[in-house]
Amino acid sequence: MKITDVKVAIIGNHPVVRITTNEGIDGIGGAESPRNQPFFKPQIEYYKNMIVGLDPTDVERVLLRIRRTGGFKPWGSGVSAIEVALWDIAGKAAGVPIYKLLGGKIRDKVRVYNGSYRKGFNGYTPEDFAENMKWMKDLPQNFSIIKQGIAFHGSPMLKGMSDFYYGDYVAAEKYGNRGVLTEKGFNITVDAVIAMKEVLGDEVGLALDCGPGLTASDTLRLAQALEPYHLMWMEDTITGDYTPYVHPDYFLQVTPYTSTPIHTGEQIYLRHGFKELIEKHAVDIVGPDPLDVGGIAELKWVAEFADLHNIQMAPHGTVDGLIGLAALTQVSATLPDNFIAFELPSANPEWWNDIVEGIEDFEVTDSHITVHDTPGLGISFRVDEAKQYLSEEDTGFFDD
């Protein structure tokens, strides 16, 4: 089998890759939405010229051609999307789901948490956080873990409270707001967490997406203050989302001194980016994203390496769409027992549910997805329905 073409399109808000072969088997992969759209197409065109003619079922051999040219989020998305599409082809060619090619599943159901299932805030008071949390707790998926953005992670405190921290908030996209919390800002953050825990009780775990942007000292003070509330984790406090480097020593000023679990990793590309973070025990939990880290096999490698060091795994995935949902389900079924849950993506726009065959098998019941045995990713496009959403420049996306 040989790769004959690597096609790319933006469908709704999702960048999508489709790899075709000389045997009529194709595979699909994708990237986060909508963050990777401007550069995604030329990036895929660049990789295409390196891999056409290779056997797509030799996934690692193909990846060795392109892997070195990726980078930290969002620049690892092209490599990741191609990797997922290759596994989709390999699974279809063998007539088995991807998890069988990764060593087989060790769980029949995978736990998920709310991810993209969130809504906006009416304000930044603890009462507003409690109201928002009640909405998420009442969702029909019956999530057993719920994550909420707070502090520097796009929260209403950062955007609406002028004296939240010693700095001036900049509303520009991807701007790295950071600084020292005021006493008032620190206290309202603690009070908001307490208010959310009062809604959840001990029935639902609470995780906090905190930044990046907090200082190490504020992270430690906050983690210690919240120890009585048994948080699932505090994520991306110092560095994290869109931070193009890893500083394990920053987290080593925090993690050894609190029982509140510390989490990071969604922006990191390849296993090499996790090496020091894991070996130094700088965090308690890592959370690579399969559509940024270099693909699903790369995520599995990170999970196994973390497991050797007694570090837990909670993969990122909030804006990965339905292709990301399928990829996360496949790989999470194979991960060691350090797997906690993955962050649940959803269709964007909603009509994606109408153009994907097999997505009904990924329904969430009581915070879990049952792992099915459809070959490859377990989903495919309903081509006739999907074609109506292609832009004029992408009309040939489904052509062989």
Q: Give ∠ CA 122-13-90 in degrees, rounded to 5.
A: 130
Is there a single domain that holds both residue 149 and residue 285?
Answer: yes
Give CA–CA dist 299/324, Å, rounded: 13
Is there a single domain that holds both residue 286 and residue 263?
Answer: yes
- Please check whether residue 324 is in contact with residue 296, taking contact to mean a CB–CB distance below 8 angstroms: no
Q: Give ∠ CA 33-35-302 in degrees, rounded to 5.
A: 75
Note the pLDDT of residue 36. 73
Q: Taking the alpha carbons of 297, 32, 68, 237 in that order, is the dihedral positive or negative?
A: negative
Q: Which residues of 26-62 are buried (b: 16+ CB within 10 A; e: fewer)?
A: bbbbbbbbebbeeebbebbeebbeebeeebbbebeeb
pLDDT in tens, the chain (400 residues): 999 999 999 999 999 999 999 999 999 999 998 777 889 999 999 999 999 999 999 999 999 999 999 999 999 999 999 999 999 999 999 999 999 999 999 999 999 999 999 999 999 999 999 999 999 999 999 999 999 999 999 899 999 999 999 999 999 988 999 999 999 999 999 999 999 999 999 999 999 999 999 999 999 999 999 999 999 999 999 999 999 999 999 999 999 999 999 999 999 999 999 999 999 999 999 999 999 999 999 999 999 999 999 999 999 999 999 999 999 999 999 999 999 999 999 999 999 999 999 999 999 999 999 999 999 999 999 999 999 999 999 999 999 8
- Domain containing 143 — which CATH number? 3.20.20.120
Is residue 7 included in any domain, yes or no? yes
Beta strand pairing status for 342-343 and 3-11?
unpaired
Enter the tokens of residue 123. Answer: 């304000």
Beta strand pairing status for 205-209 and 233-235?
parallel
Give CA–CA dist 239/237, Å, rounded: 6
Write down the residue that tokens 């999970």 correspond to.
Answer: 303
Note the pLDDT of residue 38. 87
Note the pLDDT of residue 204. 98
Is residue 125 included in any domain, yes or no? yes
With CA atoms as reference, report the closest residue to 112 among 319, 379, 354, 318. 318
Is residue 85 included in any domain, yes or no? yes
Number of domains in the chain: 2
Q: Which residues of 76-110 are buried (b: 16+ CB within 10 A; e: fewer)?
A: bbbbbbbbbbbbbbbbbbeebbbbbbbeebeeebb
Give CA–CA dist 29/327, Å, rounded: 9
Is there a single domain that holds both residue 137 and residue 236?
Answer: yes
Is residue 342 included in any domain, yes or no? yes
Is there a single domain that holds both residue 111 and residue 91?
Answer: no
Give CA–CA dist 296/199, Å, rounded: 35
Is there a single domain that holds both residue 125 and residue 244?
Answer: yes
Is residue 256 included in any domain, yes or no? yes
Partners of 234 in the beta sheet?
208, 262
- Please check whether residue 365 is in contact with residue 327, taking contact to mean a CB–CB distance below 8 angstroms: no
Enter the tokens of residue 171. Answer: 């509303």
Is residue 14 included in any domain, yes or no? yes
Is there a single domain that holds both residue 62 and residue 121?
Answer: no
Is there a single domain that holds both residue 291 and residue 238?
Answer: yes
> Which DSSP letter does residue 393 get?
G
Is residue 399 included in any domain, yes or no? no
Partners of 97 in the beta sheet?
376
Query: Helix or strand or coil: residue 242?
Result: coil
Is there a single domain that holds both residue 51 and residue 107?
Answer: no
Question: How many beta carbons lie within 10 A of that of residue 188, not counting itself?
Answer: 21
- Domain containing 69 — which CATH number? 3.30.390.10
Is there a single domain that holds both residue 91 and residue 23?
Answer: yes
Give CA–CA dist 137/200, Å, rounded: 7
Is residue 400 included in any domain, yes or no? no
Q: Which domain holds residue 39?
A: 3-96+382-394
Q: Is the pTM of this model over 0.95?
A: yes
Enter the tokens of residue 153. Answer: 């992670």
Write down the residue that tokens 């060790």 correspond to.
Answer: 106
Is there a single domain that holds both residue 56 and residue 108?
Answer: no
Q: Which residues of 269-299 are buried (b: 16+ CB within 10 A; e: fewer)?
A: bbbebbeebbeeebbbbbbbbbbbbbbbbbb
Write down the residue that tokens 């092209």 correspond to.
Answer: 78
Is there a single domain that holds both residue 35 and residue 112?
Answer: no
Note the pLDDT of residue 246. 96
Is there a single domain that holds both residue 181 and residue 312?
Answer: yes
